[in-house]
């Protein structure tokens, strides 16, 4: 009896993960066997751009939230690599180049 309830709960729990993921890329539909989500063409294009830069993202929707961040505080401990943070470029909201952010970093 207990094993039956366990089996049913496992099936119910994994069903959403096994549903197909549909990516809307105008005008075609692309099938990927993960879960059901409808994603617009801009989101799909961004996913391709991120993948080309070999960025590993666990939750892709978090990138949209990260784009709205004004200040990012990070603790780079060197657990996986060396303990060095490199800034490759900065663009202030004014659009004009400034050395001030690099001096403050």
How confident is the prediction for the chain on average, in pLDDT? 65
Nearest one of 77, 76, 48, 75 to 63, comparing CA atoms:
48
C-alpha to C-alpha distance for 38 and 35, rounded to whole angstroms: 10
75 tagged catalytic: yes
The total of other beta-carbon atoms located within 10 Å of residue 55's CB is 9
Is the per-residue pLDDT at 27 higher than 60? Answer: no
As to burial, measured by CB atoms within 10 angstroms (0-12 exposed, 13-18 middle, 19+ buried), residue 56 is exposed
Q: What is the pLDDT of residues 31-82, one digit of tens each?
A: 545 554 555 666 777 777 777 877 777 776 677 677 667 776 666 565 556 6
Report the predicted TM-score, pTM, of the whole model to 2 decimal places.
Answer: 0.30
Return the percentage of the chain with pLDDT > 90, whole number.
Answer: 0
**DSSP category for residue 20:** P
């Amino acid at each position: 009896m207990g094993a039956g309830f366990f089996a049913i709960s496992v099936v119910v729990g994994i069903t959403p993960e096994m549903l197909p993921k549909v990516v809307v890329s105008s005008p075609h539909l692309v099938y990927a066997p993960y879960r059901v989500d409808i994603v617009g063409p801009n989101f799909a294009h961004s996913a391709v751009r991120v993948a080309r830069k070999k960025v590993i993202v666990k939750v892709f929707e978090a990138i949209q939230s990260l784009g709205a961040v004004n200040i990012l505080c990070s603790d780079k401990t060197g657990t996986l690599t060396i303990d060095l943070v490199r800034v490759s470029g900065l663009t202030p909201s004014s659009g004009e180049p400034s050395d001030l952010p690099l001096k403050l970093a």
